[in-house]
Amino acid sequence: MKFKINIFLKKGVLDPEGKAIENALLNNGYNKVNNVRVGKTISLDIKSDIKSDALEQVTLMCKEMLVNNVIEDFEIVPSEEDK
């Protein structure tokens, strides 16, 4: 069972990587760009046929290990894509 975990910095948390990308784009003529933020996506398989079990596992691993709750938000997207 495949999942995607989207991890984003919370609103209000400074995002220097996004700012650097924004400046680089502006300096290269993309002058309509604004508010660039960078996040992370983790895709993974869970060896389980029971969707609720798998989702619970993924939620737990996000809270315990993958996500820094102080500065980051996450969402879990069940995915059938092969990416």
Q: Which residues bind a second copy (CB under 8 A)?
A: 6, 8, 18, 21-22, 24-25, 28, 30, 32-48, 54, 57, 61, 64-66, 83
Instruction: Quote the least distance from Cβ 34 to a second copy, whole Å.
Output: 4
Q: Which is nearer to a second copy, 38 or 76 (CB)?
A: 38
Which contacts qualify for 61-68: CB closer than 8 Å, 24 or more apart? 62/5, 66/5, 66/7, 66/42, 67/5, 67/7
Nearer of residues 32 and 70 to a second copy, judged by Cβ: 32
Which residue shows structure tokens 């991890």?
7
CB of 41 to a second copy, least distance (A): 4
By C-alpha distance, which of 65, 55, 78 is closest to 6? 78
